[in-house]
Amino acid sequence: MDRLLLSLLVAAFFALAVYGMWKGWRRQAIAQSVRIPPFPEVPEVTGEPVMTTKGLYVATTNAGHWQQRVVTRGVGMRGPAELRLFDDGIEVDRAGAKGFWIPRESIVELKTAKGMAGKVMGTDSLLVLTWRLGDVELDTGFRGDDLGEYPQWIEEVKGGAQV
């Protein structure tokens, strides 16, 4: 009987912890939805991409605060994605989730980094795009399958943007 009671107590504690995390995630999403405007939709006509790369969408955070993950509007979940660079902006096409558009004129900087929102590596393995959305500056992190493409991405974005 003691073993059953202890097992039920552990299961109840685990369920309560999961519920608390879910509730915190929801509260954070609601608070951010007031501060952060909706992410731009991908335009219907974009032309041919200048560059594309596949990899992992890591997160979007408040610029300069690599642990403050943005969770509102569905952008908080990490997953497979493809980045496409166009003359007018960058499309973040996330598999199984809604993608978004980063207009070229909103781009502040494109650089590499070692970590972002719980994903930390020993080398500069993340491509981090700093951009403006309304009055808010955001960092969007992407880990490409081919890290050798990063210098070309940085050069292409610097060449066409006001960086």
What pLDDT is recorded for position 152? 93
The residue segments making up the domain with residue 104 are: 51-160
pLDDT along the chain (163 residues), means of 10: 88 93 82 81 85 92 83 83 92 89 92 79 84 90 90 85 47
pLDDT of the residue at 117: 73
pTM to 2 decimal places? 0.79
Q: Which CATH number do you get for residue 94?
A: 2.30.29.30
Q: Do the beta carbons of residue 112 and residue 126 sit within 8 Å?
A: yes
Rounded to an integer, what distance in angstroms lies between the CA atom of residue 92 and that of residue 59?
Answer: 11
Flag whether 70 is in a domain. Answer: yes
Does residue 125 form part of some domain? yes
In a domain, 98, yes or no: yes
Q: What angle do CA 75, 81, 84 make, to 5 degrees?
A: 105
99 lies in some domain: yes
In a domain, 108, yes or no: yes
Domain total of the chain? 1
Residue 23 lies in a domain: no
Whether 83 maps to a domain, the answer reads yes
Q: Does 140 fall in a domain? A: yes
